[in-house]
Each structure stands twice: as C-alpha cells, then as structure tokens.
Amino acid sequence: MQRTTFVKSKWLLRPGVTPPPLLVAVALVWLGSRRLSTTEAQNEARAPKDNNLAAQQERIFHTASKADIIQTILFTGELRSQRAREITVPRIQSGFASTVTFPALEGARVKGGERILEFDGSALQSQKSEAERKLDEAKLKIAKTKADLEARRADLLSELAQAEGNLKVAQLYGRISRELLPANQYQKYQLDLEKAKLALDKAKETLVNHESSIAAQLALVEIERAQAEIELKKIEGDLALLSVDAPQDGIVIYGDNWANNRKIQVGDTLFPGMPVVAIPDLSSLQVVGYVYDTELRFLSPGMVCTLTLDAVPGESWRGRIVSLSSVASRKGFASQHKVFRAEIQPEKLDLSVMKPGMTVRVELAVSLASGALAIPRECLGLDPEGRYYVRKGTDPKNAAVQVVKVGVFNERLAQIQSGLNPGETVLIQGSPAEVKP
C-alpha cells in the first residue's frame, strides 16, 4: 500500500501528465473502502444514542401496581453475656482505695479457682505486722497479770497466816487472869487481842477481795488481747480479699476506667464497688442493641432478624427479639437522641467466632403494607400547599397533574391510598419536557 500510494502521489503531483489506467482503478477502490468504513462508524455511533433514548424513555415513567412495601431496619449491637459474674473492687475495712498489681490477660480463658486479679497489699502488710505486735504484747500482759495476781495472793495468804499466828499469841496473853497481872499490863494484853482479831479479819477480807477481783483484772487484759486478735483477723481478711480467683470458667473481660477513658490496667487506683472484671457465661451470649424511638413502633418481641458480625464478613445468623425496653435513654453523654434497648437471642451460637464485645449488625424486614397500590418515590411531588401529586401519562408534554393521598413509605416505594388506579402510568418528577434522539 505504501508503494502504491507513493506512485499515485508521484503521478498526481506532476502537472500535464495522465496517470496509467491501472493506477486510476486502484485509487477508486481505495476511496470506496474509505467511504464504507466512515458510514459504518457513523451507524455504530448512532446506535448507542438510540439505545440510550429507549432507556431514557423507559425510565421517565412507571406503572402503578400492587406491591408489598417492606421497610428494612438496621441498627448496631454488641455481643454480651446475659449471665456473668462481675468482680468489683473489694470493700476492705482497713483502707479505702486499692491499686491493681496483677491482672490476668483480657480475653484469656480461665478455670474456676485460677488467680485472675491482685491488689496492692503492702500497706495492709505493715498494718498486719503492727497488729501482730499488739497481740503479742497483749498476751505477755495477760501472763504478767496472772503472775502478779498470783504473787499478790500468795502475799495475802502469808499475811493471813501471820495474822492468825498473832491472834493465837494474843489469845494466850489475853487468857491470863486479871489478878495475876498489873492493871495496865492486863489492859495491854486485852488491847493486843482485839488488834490481832481486827488484823485477822482485815487479812481475810483483803484476801477475799483480791481473789474476787482476779477474774475482773484478767478480763481487762483479755479484752485487749481480743481486740488485738480482731484487728489482726480483719487485716488478714482484707488481705485475702485483695487476691481474687475466678469464680467460674470463662473469659476475662475488664471494665472501663472512666477517669482515664480506657480499660483498667496495672497501677490503676480504684475505689470500692467499682467493677473490675466480668467472667461471662458464654452459653448465654446475646446481642444488645439500641434502636431509635422512631423505629421502635415497627418492632415487637418475637420478630426474626438477621445478624452479621463485622469480624466475620460473608456469614450471617438468624436471631429473634426477646425484649424491648419501655423507657428511653440517651444514646450517649453528648447526644440528645433517645434510644431503646433491644435484646436479640441468636438461634445458634458459634463460640468459635462469637466473642463478648464483638460488634453485631442487626437487620429486620418489616412489612409496612401488603398488596398495596404503590409507585416509586421519585414519581411523587409536593406542591406549595403541602399536598402530594403525580404527573399521569407517558408523555411529559401532555402529563396531567393529579393530587394523591399517600400512606406508608419505604426507601423505594410509596403507598397510594387515593387519586390513582392500578395500571395508570406516572412520570418521574423532574423528567424532561421532551426526549430527543
């Protein structure tokens, strides 16, 4: 072709020279093929326009017909255990705040009786040492008191024996006849006898009082010992509370530290009663979600829904609504939206993929109307008076405006209660006045 074109152009460029007949024939064939390819290209370019025209004409109007209007409700929930053992910060009597020193790994599977949590007990250990010292002192004091009381009793018995001996001597002298002694000597012996009797009575009384007071004096020091023992047992009990074992088999899930806006971890100082760890019963997993008050009217216990996990794309499970709260709550601290709590029970639990805390998407198909006359929502218009209307017909230039009464909506269809009959065609709002090829 290149050689032929060269020869052709060579003869054509020389004025006054007639090209050969063979060359002329070749040139005519080449020009014909060029015109044919141009015509085919024009036809191919015109064909899509015709197809687009048909599609455009098909899209500008719809036929009113009976349909089921289904509303799809979507909301997000979280897998939670219906039954869980919650472990809180112990209420120790010997202190107030507690510091976490050992937490088990979150998400770890633990057995009942396995150590999962420990709090700092250094301050309690110091208090325990002091309480033990006081108890030892109380015991020593009891022993010393007993020894002192026994020694005092022995002294009083000795004094009593001496008083009895003095009385016997005084009685011997007191029996001497008056005639045998001078008057003053006789009176002295009688006075000594009375003194000996009084000393004996006093010694007996002192001994009796001492013996009766022994129990009371021992009771006083016993009280000190009992108080020291109680204090020691209280500290030991508090120390036992600082070491927490798993109450059952399960997974460790830590609570939130609201002060730091994160999960509880080592070194956090917590206050009595704060939740620290939850050990859920995995057989009681359910989905807890929150629906807006505008969607609550479509839901009821017993409705079937579809559950999907963000962590397991491509799989779904069936679930059933088991309860709906009757009191609204705020969605969050910074939100004014009101939501209702919904609990959904999966029909089948797959514990190999379902874990507490996972995000679950809940989807429900709610029938708003069955066998209702419906048209696409894009066919509805709203006039300045707030009335819905449609444009009836298939020709945008000759469409008639018709006010209609609508019922329920979903994201695609609208129910027509009056103003339109089945089989009538309506135009999409905003369709062009005419369709040009």
> What Å distances lie between residue 372 and 228, 376, 406, CA to CA?
84, 13, 11
Cα angle: 100, vertex 103, 107; to 5 degrees: 145
Per-residue pLDDT, averaged over 424-431, amounts to 84
Q: How confident is the model at residue 414 (pLDDT cuts 50, 70, 90)?
A: very high
Tens digit of pLDDT for each residue in 294-311? 888 889 999 999 999 988
Tens digit of pLDDT for each residue in 313-358? 889 999 999 999 988 887 766 677 789 999 999 999 988 889 888 8
pTM of model > 0.85: no
Tens digit of pLDDT for each residue in 72-87? 889 999 998 888 888 8
Q: How confident is the model at residue 263 (pLDDT cuts 50, 70, 90)?
A: confident
Write the CB contacts of 202 (distance below 8 Å, at least 6 apart in sequence). Answer: 163
User: What does the radius of gyration of the chain's CA atoms come to, in whole angstroms?
Assistant: 54
Does the structure show a pLDDT above 50 at 290? Answer: yes
In this structure, of 94-98, 146-150, 402-406, the range with the lowest mean pLDDT score is 94-98
- What is residue 206's predicted lDDT score, i.e. its pLDDT? 92
- What is residue 18's predicted lDDT score, i.e. its pLDDT? 52
Q: How confident is the model at residue 12 (pLDDT cuts 50, 70, 90)?
A: very low
Contact yes or no for 344/307 (Cβ under 8 A): yes
Q: How confident is the model at residue 19 (pLDDT cuts 50, 70, 90)?
A: low
Tens digit of pLDDT for each residue in 92-107? 876 777 888 888 888 7
Crossing angle for the helix pair 183-241 and 122-174, nearest 10 degrees?
170
Per-residue pLDDT, averaged over 270-278, amounts to 85
- What is residue 20's predicted lDDT score, i.e. its pLDDT? 57
Q: Which of 153, 132, 128 is nearest to 218 (CA)?
A: 153
Does the structure show a pLDDT above 50 at 26? Answer: no
Contact yes or no for 415/374 (Cβ under 8 A): yes
> What Å distances lie between residue 421 and 372, 388, 411, CA to CA?
11, 16, 22
